[in-house]
A and B are shown apart, each in its own frame.
Chain A
Amino acid sequence: MDKKAKTNRPGKLIGGFFMNLVLWIFSLSCIFPLVWMLYSSFKEKRAFNADIIGLPKSPTLINYIRILTNKDYHLGESMWNSVRTTVLSIVLIVLFSYVVGYILARVRFKLNRVLYAMFLMGMLIPVHSLLVPIYVVFRNCGLSNRWFTLLLPYISFGLPMGIFLVEGYVKGIPVSLEEAAAIDGSTFSKTLFQVILPICKPILVTVAIIQVFSCWNEFSFALVLIKSVGLQTVPLALTQFKGQFASDYPKQMAAMLITMAPIVVLYFAFSKQIIKGMVSGAVKG
């Protein structure tokens, strides 16, 4: 902290108090819904309706038990669908982004700039204009409503940013590394996966971080492409609960907390890296 600029004028003190107050109101408002949902989910419906803001007087796990044991809600299945879709999407996005990004950065061939422009365009395309067309194409090809259906759009929409982050990163790595590897007799594939891949780890982690959130939270394409209850991802399942639990807020809160849990834990455990990754992705992308 800079000492010489410190003056103790009362105006400054009031200003400081005011700024702290505003920031705390903002920060607490960001975390309040989570806290409110957390303690309210331990209330019974009647207790909640009588007093929506108070702490639970006789905490109960009944909401969680009902949600997790009632097969009609399909929450376990939805969680599994979301986990599978998110993990597979991320693995493939990272792999494809790395391979394509590396080739576009290092290998000279005729279509290089064409492909580069194509993926650049993919970043500019407003994906929501594809909502209806993708449904039509997928239905015609018999690809909608399968366990792997959502992987296709999620990977495709995640690729452009991943490719650009990797491409930019690889360009910053000295070519002499690959030259040395080639002199040692390393093949292209071996250089790709054993020499350069470890160096690119930080940028690939960034790509993965950005995609965890967008895949886990994605809703509109799941809504259009998935019809079977057994194939629903978590956001889709939650909108179904909204109808079923119409006025049972504690139960709805419990369901939401279960689906948010992986993301919340991940976020608060690695918030520093996550914030850094998301920001660098947003700015460079």
Chain B
Amino acid sequence: MLSTIKPSKKTIFLYLLVPVALFVFTVFVPLITALFYSFFDWKGGPVKTFSGISNYAQLFHDGTFWTAFGHNIYLVVICIIGQVGIAFVLVMMVNSKLVKFKTIHRTFGFFPSTIAAVCIGLIWNMIYHNQYGIINWFLKAIGRPDLCQVWLNNSKWVMLYVSIPLIWQYIGYYMVIILSAVSSIDTEIFESAEIDGANGFQKALYITLPLIKNTMLVCITLCVAGNMKAFDNIYVMTKGGPGTASMVMAMYGYQVSFSQTNMGYGSCISVAIFVLSLLVIGGSQGLIKRLTREKEA
């Protein structure tokens, strides 16, 4: 580094002061506060009593929390298959020479991911509505009114029904990411594969996929991180119901903290969300890296 362009310490300090202070205040201070309050019995009022690890003991046996955690994992798995998987298949199709209007598919497909999750949730509430919804309208139109139901009240399948909008919203997003990776592959590779008689499936599986491995990893990581924090859609569509059939961690933390105003336990749940999300994100990356390495060996 040249001394001529090195600013004084005071200058750097002044430039960095505001952003760094802001960042520490809104990210690290709350984290430490949550850790602190998670050891207290605090119902949101002025009274706080130190209760040691009793919140954590309660959390450990809290069936609802672990159900919610399970639902987050369910979302992660179904969205990796649904979003990244379908996106990959669609990219293979878009890249085919037989397909026209590629730009339109890209522009339309990406569109839902720019809309607020709240709007998407509200739109799908309308689509699922038992009286004025499109799905039940369609079932009646094809002469199967017996299949009509109050979709989001079905506690057995509600997790699937809330994940469909989520999958649908982001297919285009992953499609565009994968598309940009695929377009950077040298077309000569495909041409020589075609001369060797490789069909579309073989090209996709044995040439494209290995070459865009890193992009697929990025997609899966984004997908895992995105679904560990699922909240907006669930809040708008079901609020975690019926019962706890579609509860996710962030929704449960919100309910405990604000509906039951149990801030002590809510802080404990926040810490748990923090730790579990990091574990799942880190764990999934380790797992994928290991799996892909074994395949190569």
Judge: A and B partners, yes or no.
yes
List residues of chain A with CB under 8 Å of any chain B CB: 1-2, 5-6, 12, 15-16, 19-20, 22-24, 26-31, 33-34, 36-37, 48-49, 52-53, 96, 99-100, 103, 106-109, 115, 118-119, 122, 124-137, 152-153, 155-157, 159, 175, 178-179, 181-183, 188-189, 191, 213, 216-217, 219-220, 223-224, 234-235, 238-239, 242, 247, 249, 252-253, 256, 259-260, 263, 267-268, 271, 274-275, 278-279, 282-283
Chain A CB within 10 Å, residue with most, of B18, B30, B129, B273: B30
Q: Is the CB of A279 within 8 A of B104?
A: no
Residues in B neighbouring A136, C-beta threshold 8 A:
30, 33-34, 37, 263, 267
Instruction: Show 11 A/B contacts (Cβ-Cβ < 8 Å), sorted by A.
Output: A2-B191, A12-B98, A19-B99, A30-B168, A53-B137, A96-B22, A119-B23, A122-B27, A131-B270, A182-B4, A271-B107
- The CA-CA distance from A6 to B180 in the complex, in Å, is 24
Q: Of residues 1 to 35 in B, which have CB atoms within 8 Å of A's CB atoms?
A: 1-2, 4-7, 9, 11-12, 15-16, 18-20, 22-27, 29-31, 33-34
Residues in A neighbouring B127, C-beta threshold 8 A:
33
Residues in B neighbouring A259, C-beta threshold 8 A:
119
With beta carbons under 8 angstroms apart, the residue of A27, A28, A242, A267 that contacts B114 is A267
Given A23-B94, A137-B30, the answer on whether A126 and B109 have CB atoms closer than 8 Å is no
Q: Which B-chain residue is minimally distant from A28 (CB atoms)? A: B108
Q: Which B-chain residue is minimally distant from A135 (CB atoms)? A: B257
Residues in B neighbouring A53, C-beta threshold 8 A:
134, 137
With beta carbons under 8 angstroms apart, the residue of A33, A183, A252 that contacts B4 is A183
B238-278 vs A, CB cutoff 8 Å, 1 = contact: the mask equals 00000000000110011001100001001101110110011
Q: Is the CB of A33 within 8 A of B123?
A: yes
CB distance from B114 to the nearest CB of A (A): 5
Q: Interface residues of B, CB < 8 Å — how many?
A: 98
Q: Is the CB of B26 within 8 A of A178?
A: no
Residues in B neighbouring A271, C-beta threshold 8 A:
107, 110
Interface segment among B57-65, B149-157, B227-235: the answer is: B227-235
Q: Is the CB of B177 within 8 A of A282?
A: yes
Residues in A neighbouring B117, C-beta threshold 8 A:
217, 219, 235
